[in-house]
Amino acid sequence: MTLTGDLLIGGGRVPATAGTMKAFNPATGEFIEPEFAFGGPAEVDRGLRLADEAYDSYSHTGLEERARFLELIADKLEAAKDELAARTSVETGLPAAQFAGEAVRSAGVFRKFAAVVRQGRFLQAAIDPAQPDRRPTPRLDHRLQKVALGPVAIFGASNFPISYSVAGGDTASALAAGCPVVLKAHNAHPGASEIEGRVIQEAVAESGLHAGVFSLVRGSGNEIGEALVDHPLVKAVTFTGSEAGGMALYRRAQQRPEPIPVFTEMTSVNPTFVLPAALAARAAEIGTGLVQRGMYNVGQACLKPAVLLAVEGPGYAELREAAITEVQKWEARPMLTPGIHDAYTRNARHHQDNGAVRLAEGAAPEGSEGGAYGQALLLEVTGEQLLAEPALREEVFGPALLLVKVADTEQLLETARTFRGQLSATLHADTADRATVEQLLPVLERRTGRIVFNAFSIPQEVSYASTHGGPFPATSDSRFTSVGMGAIERFLRPVTYQNFPDDLLPQPLREANPLNLWRLVDGELTRQ
Amino acid sequence: MTLTGDLLIGGGRVPATAGTMKAFNPATGEFIEPEFAFGGPAEVDRGLRLADEAYDSYSHTGLEERARFLELIADKLEAAKDELAARTSVETGLPAAQFAGEAVRSAGVFRKFAAVVRQGRFLQAAIDPAQPDRRPTPRLDHRLQKVALGPVAIFGASNFPISYSVAGGDTASALAAGCPVVLKAHNAHPGASEIEGRVIQEAVAESGLHAGVFSLVRGSGNEIGEALVDHPLVKAVTFTGSEAGGMALYRRAQQRPEPIPVFTEMTSVNPTFVLPAALAARAAEIGTGLVQRGMYNVGQACLKPAVLLAVEGPGYAELREAAITEVQKWEARPMLTPGIHDAYTRNARHHQDNGAVRLAEGAAPEGSEGGAYGQALLLEVTGEQLLAEPALREEVFGPALLLVKVADTEQLLETARTFRGQLSATLHADTADRATVEQLLPVLERRTGRIVFNAFSIPQEVSYASTHGGPFPATSDSRFTSVGMGAIERFLRPVTYQNFPDDLLPQPLREANPLNLWRLVDGELTRQ
């Protein structure tokens, strides 16, 4: 497909109204053709009016029709995977093979949501039949299903240009819920965004859906994102990125005349706790695993295990040595954008200003100094330092890892209590660590959306039991996940139909259960 | 039980630190003994510290233990029902029999949530078993359950002093979720609040739970509510009341360093649409039913059908006559507070200033003029007026009803599209109205949490298929309901346990399914 650089609004391609940009190759420092259009509030308005027009028909598509649409996106995404991977590689400086895999996984996510749609459990159909003879008052027939919220604004993320961007899980789950999508493409990968966006746009057209089901806009600064969040027709927002960016959008949306749900996934250091027996038994394995997991995607991953805490004692020196050896093997690689690289350098320096000792760094390849190359970095502090300086518990986005040498298990528990909300926490523990594990688990449960036992979690699973969420500031609403089948719940609300004649009820609620759904009838799950 | 007027903090009674108040009898205009304590931010802080301390143990109570605790509250509430009804009647000027019924229904709500807790479906347990041989990457075992958010701040409402107040559905659903509660009692019924609060406090003690599971505070102005919403240990807020009050709390909570979920249920006129064939067939029945439903609780009900729209034509005059006759039968009754009465008088006058014609009013009993008596009022406007003046589509809290004489079904659809979000909408329609119904349903579905067909819904059902929610400004988050079994979802968040040894997993997620729960295993519902 030849990139045109246009915005994709409804079924059409819309040229620039507010200037243009070119993509940047962080590996070479060069700009790449073609020019990509910037739009403004007028294009946002146009996309949202179309999305609002599309809502009535799209939110009422049959489950089978909607599932097939999602599968068509999956097929087209897979068909475009080599082209998409090649372009994404140029726009990120990361290997094409990584993105071919990411495209296949994203296609898989659309297929999984197609299955979710077909199962229809997301509708949470519930029926409380009439009880005309109930005293003192009869009960009317009540039937509940979930319906789509309305048009959703999705901000593409920079760090995973497919799976957290245009054809990512946010789009898949919003479309699965029956919500039209207006997507703000991230300027770090405009070509990848266009390929993904056109895949979805084509699938909309071939499925015979209203063209307003999907639009893609792009802008030069904050204005376009603000126009999107402010627009009265937007009914929900998703964002993955920095705490500052996420909170600005969140607070803005809450000050609208009509506040709307905003799910932002922001920051997490995913602390790893290594308990004494595990440390004594597997120090080198853990130290190596930490670095291998931590360097994935040049450390630009929400689940990077950024902080590892272990009690000083048998194994600690060995863990440190293993981590040092592994970090030294890592060659610097281009980071996603020059801005991210600058922030990385600055934040890594701040950690050292705050007392973190540099244990090791990765190699800097010939000629990488002037570019946006992120150099691996292993830092160390004591538990006491971590307790005293909150900034050391904050994220350094990029290939930096922090070892924390903790005095004893008492101090380990104390440090655990100081962390803000996290996407995940990891425990490495053996049988002899049981008593400490039992003390630590409730502390971690309060602060995280996921607890991992004796593993470095790779990659993010997209399944029914996934949680990619957690207490603030990991996300802005811990009640939801942005990854996994539960992500659809962000975009649904209940509606009750009371005393309806059967033939006016939505299909999922009709007496004969024509869709063969699991439904809650008088509080009992049944397919009858 | 002898009322002491104390605040109830943790297991203790705490005397006034910021002045006192007495309850007001709106029927007699007299103040009633005893004095009730006001507290301030220090008491809020004490209650929340205790709630936070209680969180770890209370949120991990076994399902059976928690269910029995809720049932004990129900038993005690029922045992106190006559005393509670008598006091509530004096504090509201409404009949004691109404409150005896409300106490029994509230006890029923606690029992229903006990059943929800025992079923354990609210945990939404999901298991994705390990797939060690999966390529390219193995899958680790993932298990998800919902956990309690943390301490919840609940604002007692004025209009239903039991079911939307201390021992109401918000408290029942938060406690069912495993969240400790700090409740701000409404000053309109301090004695009822104390009785209900002591019932819960006793049940906490007798169940051997941490005393911080429940506290009740009271204050003279906004300060105590603000302290509650601002407190860093509060993890969610619920409120039922005016749009101005609800939005002030909502926006305040979203400006905290850590924003928290706030569910406010605010305003709704619950429009009723009478279609031509139904109007021709049952005009008098609908007109009478409208007024009877509308006058319930002196019109101080969130589901009051405040606006009825019908097409001018056969039956309209008859409907109007029936409504007039019924309104004239209604004697003025005391409203909940002098403030609510003043607002009612003012808002009813505004409607008339905006062109609404007074069709009829209820009788004013001897000597009611100076008091807080709300006089029934039936107003009328044309569809054109309603379209032109948004204020006519807003709530007048109290016993006023607005008839809208619509020119044709086209105008009926047009007016339907102008309403803001509603808790409910009602359709009266016959077979011949089918085409209009099909046009109207998607319009109403967008704007409401509930659609009622050919009925005036009384009372609010508390069941699995209930929705008491809806798009803004009916509530601040249409994704949730505040009444019905789904209300528990406001207070829960998912946590995933990854690669855990079985004996460290929470009971609901263990391989043997010891609690015999419905669980989603690899995407399929099963009890295995």
Domain identity same for A260 and A277: no
Residues 6+ apart with CB under 8 A from A222: A248
> A495–B466: do the CB atoms touch at under 8 Å?
no
Share the mean pLDDT of chain B: 96
Q: Which two tokens stand for residue A336?
A: 């996603």
B-proximal residues of A, 478-497, CB under 8 Å: 478-481, 485-486, 489-490, 492-497
Domain identity same for B353 and B215: no
> A115–B523: do the CB atoms touch at under 8 Å?
yes
Catalytic residue among A302, A361, A380, A394: A302
Domain identity same for A258 and A304: no
DSSP A89-138: HHHHSS-HHHHHHHHHHHHHHHHHHHHHHHH-GGG--EEE--BTT-SSSP
What are B159-173's pLDDT values in tens digits? 899 999 999 999 999
Annotated catalytic residue A302: yes
Domain identity same for B341 and B482: no
Chain A residue closest in CA terms to B139: A461
**Is pLDDT at B135 greater than 90 in this prediction?**
no
| Between B338 and A421, residue with greater pLDDT | A421
Catalytic residue among B194, B196, B265, B380: B265
pLDDT (0 to 100) of residue A455: 94
Chain B residue closest in CA terms to A420: B258
pLDDT (0 to 100) of residue B210: 98
Q: What is the mean pLDDT of residues A174-183?
A: 98
Reported as a pLDDT band with limits 50, 70 and 90, residue A460 is confident
* Residue at A23 is within a domain: yes
The CATH number assigned to the domain holding A366 equals: 3.40.309.10
Domain identity same for A336 and A391: yes
Which DSSP letter does residue B136 get?
Answer: S
Q: Which two tokens stand for residue A417?
A: 């209590």
Best residue in A234, A479, A500, A522 for a mutation probing chain B (most B CBs within 10 Å): A479
Nearest residue, CB atoms, B250 vs list A56, A139, A259: A259
What are A263-275's pLDDT values in tens digits? 999 999 999 999 9
Cβ atoms B115, A523 nearer than 8 A: yes
CA distance A467 to A454: 18
Domain identity same for B281 and B175: no
Query: What length does chain B have?
Result: 528
- Is the backbone peptide bond immediately before B34 cis, with ω within 30 degrees of 0? yes
CA distance B11 to A45: 55
CB contact burial A309-337 (16+ within 10 A = b; e otherwise): bbbbeebbebbbebbbebbeebebbbbbb
> For residue A119, which residues of chain B lie inside 8 Å, CB to CB?
523
Domain identity same for A85 and A152: yes
* Residue at A506 is within a domain: no
- Is the backbone peptide bond immediately before B232 cis, with ω within 30 degrees of 0? no
The CATH number assigned to the domain holding B68 equals: 3.40.605.10
Is B366 an 8 Å CB contact of chain A? no
CA distance B363 to B399: 12
* Residue at A469 is within a domain: no
What is the distance in angstroms between the CA of the first residue and the CA of the last residue of chain A?
49
> B461–A139: do the CB atoms touch at under 8 Å?
yes
* Residue at B520 is within a domain: no
Helix (H, G, I), strand (E, B) or coil at A438: helix
Q: What is the mean pLDDT of residues A161-177?
A: 97
pLDDT (0 to 100) of residue B137: 85
Helix (H, G, I), strand (E, B) or coil at A10: coil
- Lowest mean pLDDT, pick from A44-48, A227-231, B133-137, B346-350: B133-137
Q: How far is CA A102 from the centre of its chain?
A: 14
pLDDT (0 to 100) of residue A27: 86
- Is the backbone peptide bond immediately before B473 cis, with ω within 30 degrees of 0? yes
* Residue at B190 is within a domain: yes
Q: What is the mean pLDDT of residues A369-378?
A: 84
- Lowest mean pLDDT, pick from A91-95, A401-405, B14-18: A91-95
Query: What length does chain A have?
Result: 528
**How many domains does chain B fold into?**
2
> For residue A438, which residues of chain B lie inside 8 Å, CB to CB?
504
Helix boundaries (H) for B231-268: 243-254
Best residue in B250, B427, B496 for a mutation probing chain A (most A CBs within 10 Å): B496
* Residue at B168 is within a domain: yes
Distances in Å between the alpha carbon of B53 and those of B47, B150, B179, B229, B501? 10, 10, 11, 18, 28
The domain of B165 spans: 31-234+241-266+477-490
Q: What is the mean pLDDT of residues A511-528?
A: 95
* Residue at A509 is within a domain: no
> A500–B453: do the CB atoms touch at under 8 Å?
yes
Nearest residue, CB atoms, B259 vs list A136, A467, A472: A472
CA distance B273 to B372: 32
What are B177-201's pLDDT values in tens digits? 999 999 999 999 999 999 999 999 9
Domain identity same for B229 and B148: yes
Domain identity same for B178 and B311: no
Cβ atoms B318, B284 nearer than 8 A: yes
How high is the ipTM of this complex?
0.97
Cβ atoms A237, A155 nearer than 8 A: yes
Q: Please tell me the distance in Å from A138's CA to the nearest CA on chain B.
A: 9
Residue A513 region, left (φ>0) first, then alpha (ψ -120 to 50), else beta? left
Domain identity same for A180 and A242: yes
- Please report the number of interchain residue pairs, chain A to chain B, with beta-carbon separation below 8 angstroms: 217
Q: What is the mean pLDDT of residues B253-271?
A: 97
Helices A243-254 and A223-230, axial angle in degrees (round to 10): 40
Reported as a pLDDT band with limits 50, 70 and 90, residue B370 is low
Domain identity same for A243 and A372: no
Chain B residue closest in CA terms to A504: B438
pLDDT (0 to 100) of residue A221: 87
Task: Give me the residue label for tokens 């033939």.
Answer: A503
| Between B215 and A159, residue with greater pLDDT | B215
Cβ atoms A152, A238 nearer than 8 A: yes
Where in B417-483 does DSSP place strands (E)? Answer: 425-428, 450-453
| Upper half-sphere CA count for residue A134 (Cβ side, 13 Å) | 13
* Residue at B12 is within a domain: no
> B478–A493: do the CB atoms touch at under 8 Å?
yes
Domain identity same for A103 and A148: yes
